[in-house]
Chains A and B, each alone.
Chain A
Amino acid sequence: MCNESAAQAAYRRSRKRRRRAIAATQWGILIVLLAAWEILARTGVLDAFLLSCPSRMLESIAALARSGELALHLATTLWETIIGFVLGAVLGVGVAVLLWWSDTLNRILDPYLVILGALPKIALGPVLIVWIGAGMPAIIVMTLLISVIVTTVTALGGFLSVEREKITLLRSFGASKWQTFTMAVFPGALPTTVSALKLGVSMSWIGVIVGEFLVSRAGLGYLIVYGGQVFRMDLVMGSTAVLCVCAALMYLLVAAMEKRLNRARAHGG
């Protein structure tokens, strides 16, 4: 370890100051917004019945938590999201592998993929309810439908962008098509595949909430719709806030996994 020069130390200090200033401002914005909202609602400038306010949102969530309902709704939504996401990811990557394997199949299915990709999957909601029934399976299928096409198209794009000469080289060593996939194509496209999964997480949340709007007796989406129907805006806003936190945490988790993976590759892991 060599001694750091004074200039390098100063540079590091200024970087650190900058990072701290950014974090402080980020928290500041949140606190100021919440405080202003609370004060304006309490002084009667804003209608707390229509717009709710942070303390009332917190209260309604706390009440739900005390009765044990929050855990049920949260678990339902998380479960649906995770199952839908995993199924969408497995199916999406699986189909991408098939389409990579057979260029003919890829060409045959191309227009169908385009149409399915363009179609707002939400429109299939009523069809799903009739076919599958009003319950969790319909929600999971909706989630899967929304995430699977994006995952397929992105992963396939990654597979196909691996250089042909790398495959030629492996084939010259006698590699089978499957070996060229496992040794060159899949690892080469791994960063693209992981970012496809990141996209899949966001898509899964959309699928789950839409599904819960349409059919459900539990879940955060159900709470939001129910709260709207009985005009309890505290419940609507509170549930939305919980949803916000959950979706952000799940996204951060996948993003952290992606970062770790890329770092492991950069260090020959």
Chain B
Amino acid sequence: MMEPNVLLDFDHVSMCYHDESGETEVLRDFSMQVKPGEFVALLGPSGCGKSTVLGLAAGLLRPDEGTVRLRGEPVLRPPERMGYMLQRDHLFPWLTVRENALVGIRVRQRPTAAQRAQVERLLQACGLTGFADALPGQLSGGMRQRAALVRTLAVNPDLLLLDEPFSALDAQTRIQLSDEVKQRLGEGRATILVTHDVSEAISMADRVVVLTRRPARIRSVHDITLAGTPMQRRGDPAFREYFEAIWKELDVHVQ
């Protein structure tokens, strides 16, 4: 039976991709549980199947074996109150920042006054108030990704799936934005972050899960007991220890 305090449950999940050139096994017997409000980072070599885990959680992919459950129910389609952020912002260039932020809401319904007000608050919190009527083309990369964050948070998700959302940004913006993302999350919002940046994973997550090369299995799990913002965590003396421990896992793996 399932534990009551589990939001997302990967139960012995396996998955293969098929195309003309043959079969590719991406996940093998993958089991992981995410509690409400928990921040989990998935680390692994590129192409190991990290994004597949997110696709399964988002209901965009179907496992070959095993089950993915959200609040005890199998995930068969994209659930409501789920936010998915990709490496690229994918803002629609023909819509203003405000309209882009409303896209996720519009898919389900005509935005209510309350939802509009919330989007305005999020825009303000992300420093985009003056740019609400601007087009994405007029914004810098960091601001565009902030607009994408507002679009993600606008549907009020209790599950956030982040697929390397900072990797296309310059180093300074990346750290600043990860700080902001962490602050916006608040309590009760579970997050899975896929990344290949060890520091980013340690600075943000409660738990770092290291995956093996394809087909991905869980290699090791590291509970991170650091407190504070990503910036503060990076300054913590224990940060290095975590880094070395996790790096070794990845390093051995690369051989």
Contact = CB atoms under 8 A, between A and B. Distances in A.
B95 interface: yes
Nearest to A172: B84
Given A169-B90, A183-B103, A266-B135, 13 more contacts: A168-B60, A169-B86, A170-B103, A171-B60, A171-B78, A172-B84, A173-B104, A173-B107, A174-B77, A183-B92, A268-B95, A268-B133, A268-B134
A28 interface: no
Interface of B: 58, 60, 77-80, 82, 84, 86, 88, 90, 92-96, 103-104, 106-108, 133-135, 155, 161
A97 to B, nearest CB: 19
Contact of B92 (A165, A188, A266): A188
Nearest to B135: A268
A163 B94 CA distance: 15
A16 interface: no
Among B60, B92, B155: residue with most chain A CB under 10 A: B92
B107 A174 contact: yes
Contacts of B106: 183
Interface in A210-248: none
B90 A165 contact: yes
A13 interface: no
A42 interface: no
A169 B96 contact: no
Given A183-B107, A268-B135, A172 B82 contact: yes
Given A165-B86, A268-B135, A174 B96 contact: no
Contacts, number: 56
A173 B151 CA distance: 10
A130 B104 CA distance: 55
Nearest 10 A-B pairs (CB), nearest first? A172-B84, A173-B107, A173-B104, A175-B107, A265-B94, A174-B78, A268-B96, A166-B90, A169-B90, A172-B58
B138 to A, nearest CB: 9
A191 to B, nearest CB: 10
Nearest to B79: A174
Interface residues of A, number: 21
Contact of B90 (A163, A190, A265, A266): A163
A59 to B, nearest CB: 52
A187 B94 contact: yes
Nearest to A174: B78
A187 B92 contact: yes
A173 B135 contact: no
A184 interface: yes
Contacts of B92: 166, 183-184, 187-188
A187 B91 CA distance: 13
Contacts of B88: 165
A265 B133 CA distance: 13
Contacts of B90: 163, 165-166, 169
Contacts of A179: 107
A172 B81 CA distance: 10
A58 B84 CA distance: 68
5 contacts: A165-B90, A168-B86, A173-B108, A174-B79, A190-B94
Nearest to A170: B107
B60 A172 contact: yes
B84 A169 contact: yes
B182 to A, nearest CB: 21
A169 B134 CA distance: 21
Contacts of B86: 165, 168-169
Contacts of B108: 173-174
B201 to A, nearest CB: 22
Interface string A248-269: 0000000000000000011110
A187 B88 CA distance: 19
B60 A174 contact: no
A90 to B, nearest CB: 23
